[in-house]
Amino acid sequence: MNRFLAWLKKIFHKQISTNPIYLDKALNRFLLPTVFIVPLITLYLNFPGDPEIPFNPRTNYTYFNEPISPIPKNLFINTNKAEIGELLFNSNLLSTDEKFSCNTCHTLETGGTIRNYSENSLNPVTVFNAGIFYRSMDVSQENYSSSILVNDIIHFPKEMGDINSNLNNLIKDNKIYNKIKLIYGTNPSIEIINDSLLEFIISLYTPNSKFDKFLRGDKNSLSTGEKEGYLLFKELGCISCHQGVNLGGNLYQTVGITDDYFKDKGEPGDLDQGLYLKTKKEEDKYKFKVPSLRNIAVTYPYLHDGRYKSLKEVVIMMSKYQLGKQISEDDTEKIVSFLNTLTGEYKGQLLK
């Protein structure tokens, strides 16, 4: 051992020493502890430590090594604007005949979507976490990510009528009208409506799911079955489409890649046309936005046509038509148990 230390001192002297006495001290105080203790700590921290599940060298379960990152615990929110956005979100005044609000289709109490939607309309996707891409993750500032396109997420569906002519309705609600005057200093305009609605949508983020606690280093936050479900999710390739902080929400993909989903389902209807409805481009037929899987346990029914009520059915469908794999009962259950860990908190309460 002593010979080894002497040798270490010798090479460090050779390489960087100009003042051997000073270096000798430095070596004892800093270099030696670094040489021995740091590797030991690193080894300890990386030790799998979970005897139930075989150690997978590709996933040593630290946040930095995982392809998904947790939802930030805090995002900067301009509360004045978000309050106006919240009032607008819940107000029927923005729609013709005052029949619809955003909350009619994106009911916050039921996961930001609806559970009994009409057969003839698209199944609304949840508004929870739909806005987090739009705010840069720097929690101290009200800055938008550079790719911001408000029209990508703030929409006024045909059920609401012509938004521009409905703007005048807002004068009927003193609270909204006065607050807009106070904060923006002018009368309501479409830009103000978009801006405040967007701020409210950004405020609908849901941190602290069991899965996020796990990503932050709490290895016991997931059971063995849930961890195995997560491994399967990565190994089967679900993650190639359901990716990033929201496990989806950032790309369009064809439904029915490895098998003809719409043929098996029966004659495709209008709503099955997907992105084509908006772009009228032939190659966009049957393409849909890959939905975020955050809070998936509470946002049933699933898919654009609300066809399935249980996650089990969707996992089997996805494996068959998106990945061309037949999945065992056991693996399906593990993936479902993993998906159930993605429910987060809004205002400190787990979504229901």
* Footprint on this chain of ligand HEC (rule: CB under 6 A): 89, 100, 102, 104-106, 122, 124-125, 127, 130, 153-157, 159-160, 197, 201, 236-238, 240-242, 249, 253, 255, 257, 288-291, 293, 296, 299, 302-304, 311, 314-315, 318-319, 322-323, 335
Least spacing, CB of residue 29 vs ligand HEC, in Å? 53
Indicate the residue among 9 and 206 with the shorter CB distance to ligand HEC. Answer: 206
Asked whether 12 and 23 are in contact (CB, 8 A), the reply is: yes
Least spacing, CB of residue 285 vs ligand HEC, in Å? 13
Asked whether 218 and 301 are in contact (CB, 8 A), the reply is: no
Indicate the residue among 27 and 296 with the shorter CB distance to ligand HEC. Answer: 296
Indicate the residue among 218 and 259 with the shorter CB distance to ligand HEC. Answer: 259
Least spacing, CB of residue 48 vs ligand HEC, in Å? 25
Least spacing, CB of residue 193 vs ligand HEC, in Å? 8
Q: Which residue has the tokens 């609300």?
A: 306
Indicate the residue among 13 and 312 with the shorter CB distance to ligand HEC. Answer: 312
Indicate the residue among 51 and 266 with the shorter CB distance to ligand HEC. Answer: 266
Cis-peptide, bond into residue 301, ω within 30° of zero: yes
Q: Which residue has the tokens 């061309």?
A: 324
Q: Which residue has the tokens 């439904």?
A: 255
Least spacing, CB of residue 236 vs ligand HEC, in Å? 5
Indicate the residue among 12 and 300 with the shorter CB distance to ligand HEC. Answer: 300
Asked whether 113 and 107 are in contact (CB, 8 A), the reply is: yes
Measure the CA–CA gap between 288 and 28, rounded to whole angstroms. Answer: 62
Least spacing, CB of residue 171 vs ligand HEC, in Å? 18
Indicate the residue among 91 and 207 with the shorter CB distance to ligand HEC. Answer: 91
Alpha-carbon torsion 152, 158, 159, 165, what sign?
positive
Asked whether 257 and 222 are in contact (CB, 8 A), the reply is: no
Here the tokens at position 128 are 């929870």
Least spacing, CB of residue 252 vs ligand HEC, in Å? 7
> Alpha carbon of 209 to those of 146, 237, 319: distances in Å?
28, 22, 25
* β-strand partners of 274: 287
Measure the CA–CA gap between 245 and 240, rounded to whole angstroms. Answer: 13
- DSSP conformational letter for 287: E
